[in-house]
Structure 1
């Protein structure tokens, strides 16, 4: 990746719906060149996919949670299948250390929070935290060494 690819990634992470025409103007490149670079970044797996970012609050999920699961009481496969099917769960990460999983969930108020905790408690020890503020939510992801060529 060169500096143009990195600048393209930065722009696309700010606005994934930017037109190729507008992107070409910002990068001072022709539209075919921009399209070719974007295709190459997708083929290399650097651009994984495009999607919309939905506000949980705007769709009625006003309570954001971080949940730690430790001392799993069921099989990993059954737990992960249950988590994958629960639409309240936004992210789930299996990790090393004393905690087995970190889960990010968005629910509609305390009743939904209680239902989620009741579901999870049979799978292991649960530690739930309500998110008060997110000073860093979606940071742009760019190569650490920006001088790559």
Structure 2
């Protein structure tokens, strides 16, 4: 399926990245076309798999999570599957990638304070070794790919 974008598609995506809740009317005005055109174009972007979801960004700090950590998990022999299940079942892990190399998984973990780190990591002790780094800042948060 062809997934090339024209200038109108790019303008629509740029506006939606900025505010996914924008009304069809306002989006149409922003990019200079009619509301029906916007609805059709956005539906086509969805049908093509380019737009997958409309989402919100929730502030973890406003919910009391003052620390974020990056944890690298190295599965113990024969424990990769059970480790993956435990990662999926741990709500403080908000993002995780299965990776190549010595580590099997790299995860982002939210913490209310540093005292929560050791108890959380201990739940993985029989499945993996871990290496943890506390996030100081995030100069680049997850962003959309270039279009």
* TM-score normalised by the chain length of structure 1: 0.89
C-alpha spacing 1:88/1:73, structure 2 compared with 1 (3 Å):
farther
Q: How many Å apart are 1:114 and its aligned residue? A: 1.6
Is residue 92 from structure 1 mapped to residue 96 from structure 2 by the alignment? yes
How far does residue 139 in structure 1 lie from its aligned partner after superposition? 2.5
Structure number with greater CO (CA < 8 Å, separation at least 6) is 1
Give the RMSD, CA atoms, in angstroms. Answer: 1.3
Which residue in the other structure is 1:122 paired with?
126
1:30 and 2:34 correspond:
yes
| Aligned pairs for 1:68-107 within 5 A | 68-107=72-111
CA contact (8 A) 1:10 1:140 kept: no
Aligned length: 143
Equivalent position SS for 2:41: helix
Q: Does 1:6 align with 2:25?
A: no
Residue in 1 aligned with 2:113? 109
Matched, 1:134 2:144: no
1:120 aligns to what SS in structure 2?
Answer: coil
Quote the offset at 1:100 in angstroms. Answer: 1.2
Segments of 5+ residues of structure 1 without an aligned counterpart are 144-149
Distance 1:72 1:4, change over 3 A: farther
For structure 2, list consecutive stretches of 5 or more residues without a partner in the other structure. Answer: none
Stretches of 4+ moved more than 2 A in 1?
71-77, 138-143
Question: TM-score of the superposition, structure 2-length normalised?
Answer: 0.91
Q: CA deviation at 1:12?
A: 0.6
Secondary structure at the aligned position of 2:46 is classed as helix
1:4 Cα shift? 0.8
